[in-house]
Amino acid sequence: MTSTRITVKGERPYDVVVGTGVLAELPGLFGEGVRTVAVVHPAGLPEIARPVCGVLRSAGYTVVELPVPDGEHAKSVEVAAELWSAFGRYGVTRSDAVVGVGGGATTDLAGFAAATWLRGVEVVQMPTTLLGMVDAAVGGKTGINTAEGKNLVGAFHPPAGVLCDLATLVSVPRDDYVAGLAEIIKGGFIADPTILLLVEDDPEGARLPEGRHTRALIERKIQIKADVVGADLRESGLREILNYGHTLAHAIERVESYHIRHGEAVSIGMVYAAELSRLAGHAGVDLVERTRSILTSVGLPTAYRREAWPELRDHMRVDKKNRGAKRRFVILDDVAKVTRLEDPPEELLEAAYHEVAR
Ligand SMILES: NC(=O)c1ccc[n+]([C@@H]2O[C@H](COP(=O)([O-])OP(=O)(O)OC[C@H]3O[C@@H](n4cnc5c(N)ncnc54)[C@H](O)[C@@H]3O)[C@@H](O)[C@H]2O)c1
Ligand SMILES: O=C(O)C(=O)C[C@@H](O)[C@H](O)[C@H](O)COP(=O)(O)O
Ligand SMILES: [Zn+2]
C-alpha cells in the first residue's frame, strides 16, 4: 500500500507521512540547510534507530546518536539537560535538526529538547508505537514531568514533519500497542463515531498491527489530531477536547509513579469522564455503557483503586485546564458532542469516582 500524507495546517504546515517501509521518505521532511541531525532514541531500541541513522548518513547528514532512558524515564529535566549538553558538545546549531525515534515519551522529550535548545531548533518526529503515531508525535505538544505531576514543563513546538513507518509497530509489545488504542478510541468519542464502529466491528483485530481496520483507525485518528491542532495549536479552546479523560489519567499516572501506561490511565480516565458527564446531567447511561464495553473489548482497564481517591483528587488540582481554584473537565453530551464542566462540586467528582472505583 502506498503512503498517505496528512497535512497539519498552521503557521508552518507540515506533513504526517503514514505507510509501511517509508523510511526513505525521512530526509524529505527536513528543511533547507540542515547538516547535523541529532537522533534521540531509547537506549534499548538500537535496532530501530540504526536504519534511521543509516538513511540519514546516506542522504549526506552528519548524524549524532543520542540514546536516552526507556519510556517515561526519559521525561525528566535531568535527561533533558543531558541532551542540551550533548547538543552543545556536538555543535547542533540553529540550522540543524533533532529527530525523535521511539514511543510518545521519547518524542515528547526530543521535541522538548529541540524546543528549548537555542530557543528552538527543527524537530522531525518518527514515532514507533501506536500511541506515538496517532497522538504524541503530531501536534507540537512537547514536555517533561516534574515531581508535582505529568507534563508540567513543556512547550508548543510543532515538528517539521512526522514519519509513521507502520513496519515498526510489529515489534511493539502487545500491552503497549493496546494502550495506544485508548487514544484512538478517545478520538472516536470526541470526534469520529466511525472509529467506534470499526473497533466494535473487530475488537480482536484492533489489537493487532495487521488488523483489518488498523490502517483506517490510525489515519482517522491522525486526521482528527491534525484538524484540531491545525485550528488551535496553543490550546486556547478547541484543543482541550483532545484532553478528554486525561484529568484523572494524569493523576493516576502520578500516583503510580508512571508505572502504568499512559493509554491505560486514559482508558480509566475516559470511563470517569463519561460517568461525570452522566452525573452532571449531560450524557445518557448508554454513553457510559458504550465507553466501558468498547474499552473492555480490546483489553483496556476501566477501574482503579477505591482508596486512592483523596490522592487523585489532590493531583487533579494541578491539571492545566484549571483556572485558579476553578476546576474544569472535558465532558460529553454524546458521541462527538464535546463540552466543558466548569467548577463541579467536590461531591460530584467523588460520586463519579465511586462508579470507577473497585
Ligand atoms: N505530546 C502529546 O501530544 C502526547 C499525546 C499522547 C501521549 N503523550 C505521551 O506519550 C507517552 C506514551 O507514549 P507510548 O505509549 O508510546 O509509550 P512509551 O514511549 O513509553 O513506549 C512504550 C514502550 O514501547 C517501547 N517501544 C517503542 N517503540 C517500539 C517498537 N517499535 N518496538 C518495540 N518496543 C518499542 C518503548 O521503548 C517503551 O518501552 C506518555 O509520556 C504520554 O504523556 C504525548
Ligand atoms: O494534544 C493534546 O492536546 C492532548 O491533550 C493529547 C493527549 O493525548 C496527550 O496525552 C497530551 O500530552 C496531554 O497534554 P497535557 O497538556 O494535558 O499534558
Ligand atoms: Zn494522551
Q: Provide the pLDDT for residue 319.
A: 93
Residue 346 Ramachandran class (φ > 0 left, ψ -120 to 50 alpha, else beta): alpha
Q: For residue 242, report the distance from its CA to the centre of ligand 3, in Å.
A: 8
Question: What pLDDT shows up at residue 109?
Answer: 99
Q: Please give the CATH number for the structural domain made up of 174-356.
A: 1.20.1090.10
Q: Grid coordinates representing 20?
A: 509501511
C-alpha cell at 257: 509513579
Question: Whose grid coordinates read 546516506?
Answer: 58
Dihedrals φ, ψ of 19, to 5°? 175, 175
Residue in the structure block whose three cell numbers are 503514514: 18
How high is the pLDDT of residue 271?
A: 99
> Residues in the chain with pLDDT < 50?
none
Q: For ligand 1, what atom is nearest to the CA of residue 139?
A: 3
Assess whether the C-beta atom of 275 lies below 6 angstroms from ligand 1.
no
CA atoms in the 13 A half-sphere facing the CB of 157:
25
Annotated active-site residue 282? The verdict is no
Computed on alpha carbons and rounded to an integer, the radius of gyration of the chain in Å comes to: 20
- The DSSP secondary-structure symbol of 32 reads T
Establish whether 262 is a catalytic residue.
yes
Annotated catalytic residue 322 = no
Distance 78 CA to ligand 2 centre (A): 22
Tally of helices (H runs) and strands (E runs) in the chain: 13, 11
Ligand 2 nearest atom to the CA of residue 246, by list position:
17
Q: What is the C-alpha separation between 173 and 158, in angstroms, rounded? A: 28
CA dihedral 257, 261, 262, 263 (to 10 degrees): -160
* Helix, coil or strand: residue 221: helix
pLDDT for 307: 98
pTM strictly above 0.95: yes
Ligand 2, pocket residues at CB < 6 Å: 135, 139, 141, 151, 183, 235, 239, 242-243, 246, 320
Locate the domains of the chain by residue range.
Answer: 4-171, 174-356
Distance CA 82, CA 90 (A): 12
CATH number assigned to the domain covering 4-171: 3.40.50.1970
- Residue 271's contacts (CB-CB under 8 Å, 6 or more residues apart) are 288, 291, 292, 295, 302, 303, 355, 356
Instruction: Give the residue, out of 79, 176, 221, with the most ligand 1 atoms within 8 A of its beta carbon, to mutate for a pocket test.
Output: 176
Nearest C-alpha neighbor of 222 from the set 132, 332, 298: 132
Residue 292 and residue 299: Cα distance in Å, rounded?
A: 11
Amino acid at 300: L
Q: Which residue has the cell 461525570?
A: 276
pLDDT score of 199: 99
- 93 Cα: distance to centroid of ligand 3 (angstroms): 31
Q: Is 129 annotated as a binding residue?
A: yes
Identify the helix (H) or strand (E) that includes residue 342. Answer: strand 337-342
Choice from 144, 236, 239, 246 to test ligand 2 binding pocket (greatest atom count within 8 A of CB):
246
Active site residue 221: no
